[in-house]
Amino acid sequence: MLRGIDPVLNAEVLSVLMAMGHGDEVLICDVNHPAASIAAHTVHGSVVHMTGCGIERATTAILSLLPLDTFVDAPIRRMQVVGAPDRLVDAHQVMQRVADRAAGGPVTVEALARFDFYEAARGAYAVIRTSDPGPYGCFLLRKGTIEVGE
């Protein structure tokens, strides 16, 4: 245990977040996502597990340390619901709430079609798999910069 660091952030998660640079993306996903096959294409190369955490708990902890990129219009991307691209599921609403709270204001979340999302996810730095049952709890978070003195 360390002071000031959420205990759900295990050593591997912390290592990944520290190693990422500005503009790198991390995929936060639910248990339905093909995490292992996507992770094989990432820089990290294997799935990072946050067992026992849902999307809300995991992302709240991650965003307590990881700044979102302010140089892009949408620092978060999510998967669209197949057959209903404008539909928002619970996980989408949870992510929006968590991101807005962490950023101190509205965060734009871009929606991608399923296979476009998979392609984008293969370019992520790492895949963090939560225990969230989903569905559609799949998000790419783009890392921003930390100002001196933060």
**Prediction pTM value:** 0.95
What CA–CA distance (Å, rounded) separates 117 from 146? 27
**How confident is the model at residue 58, as a pLDDT?**
98
Q: Which residues are the active-site residues? A: 22, 69, 118
What CA–CA distance (Å, rounded) separates 98 from 69? 15
Reading the chain (150 residues) residue by residue, the pLDDT tens digits are: 678 999 999 999 999 999 999 999 999 999 999 999 999 999 999 999 999 999 999 999 999 999 999 999 999 999 999 999 999 999 999 999 999 999 999 999 999 999 999 999 999 999 999 999 989 999 999 999 987 766
Residue 38 domain flag: yes
Which range of residues forms the domain containing residue 123?
Answer: 21-105+116-142
Residue 14 domain flag: no
Residue 125 domain flag: yes
Residue 16 domain flag: no
Residue 8 domain flag: no
**How confident is the model at residue 150, as a pLDDT?**
60
**How confident is the model at residue 147, as a pLDDT?**
79
Residue 49 domain flag: yes
Residue 148 domain flag: no
**Contact (Cβ atoms closer than 8 angstroms) between residue 142 and residue 76:** yes
Distance from the first to the final alpha carbon of the chain: 22
What CA–CA distance (Å, rounded) separates 102 from 112? 23
Residue 4 domain flag: no
What CA–CA distance (Å, rounded) separates 134 from 105? 25
CA distances from 36 to 1, 32, 65, 99, 100 (A): 28, 11, 25, 25, 29
Q: What is the CATH number of the domain that holds 78?
A: 3.40.1650.10
**How confident is the model at residue 1, as a pLDDT?**
67
Number of domains in the chain: 1
